[in-house]
Amino acid sequence: MFDHVEVTGTGSASAVPDVVVLDARVSCDAPDVAGALAKASERVSAALAAASEAGVAAADRQSTGMGVNSRWDHEGRGVIGYSAYQSLRLLVRDRDGVGDLISALARAAGDSFGLDGVRLEVAEKAPLVEQARAAAFADAVRTATQYAQLAGRPLGQAVKVIEAGSGPGPAPKMRAMAAMDSVGGMPIEAGEHTVTVTVAVRFGLG
């Protein structure tokens, strides 16, 4: 006679995103490496100053990458210059100010400025994950209770719990849905940020 039942439970929790993440970059060309780096450094400093003036705190400004690449002629035979770049990630906590911030960055960095991505997130994800875990465990209890009743056995305590991502199975999913108009006005609809957790739970049977 079997002494346990093992089931899977899934739970989700949602919240309205409260921060906008901008992935930007500055890229400058010059005949030599030193010149390209100097130009990029100057433009990045200007962009960061503009972000600071727009209210983006120092803790919300991060350099995510930098480098220098050779530029080749059309035949790919000779180096004709160098490109230096730096990538920046900015957390914008005032969603209504995103459009003005992007415009300020573009003015500060000029044609060296590029925008690689705009996405919405929830600043504090831990409470959402906790809610999703509770919902997933409750879902597992409901399923296990039904199986125990069908087997004519009382449901015992949980003896093993595996959360997806810490063991076999799909990892917890997070998705954000947003709708954006043109960068000019940059109105952003926050939509929802949803966290989904899946757990495998083994219950004893009486």
Please list the pLDDT of the chain residue by residue as tens digits (206 residues): 679 999 999 999 998 888 999 999 999 999 999 999 999 999 999 999 999 999 999 999 999 999 999 999 888 889 999 999 999 999 999 888 888 999 999 999 999 999 999 888 888 889 999 999 999 999 999 999 999 999 999 999 999 999 985 443 445 555 544 444 444 455 566 677 889 999 999 999 98
Asked whether the whole model's pTM tops 0.85, one would answer: no
- Three-state SS at 55: coil
In 3D space, the residue among 111, 91, 116 whose CA is nearest the CA of residue 101 turns out to be 91
Break the chain into its structural domains and give their ranges: 4-16+124-205, 19-121
Instruction: Please give the angle made by the CA atoms of 166, 170 and 172, to the nearest 5 degrees.
Output: 70
Tokens in use for 84?
A: 């230096």
Query: How many whole angstroms separate alpha carbon 45 and alpha carbon 39?
Result: 10
> 4-16+124-205: what CATH class?
alpha beta
Q: Which CATH architecture has domain 19-121?
A: 2-Layer Sandwich (3.30)
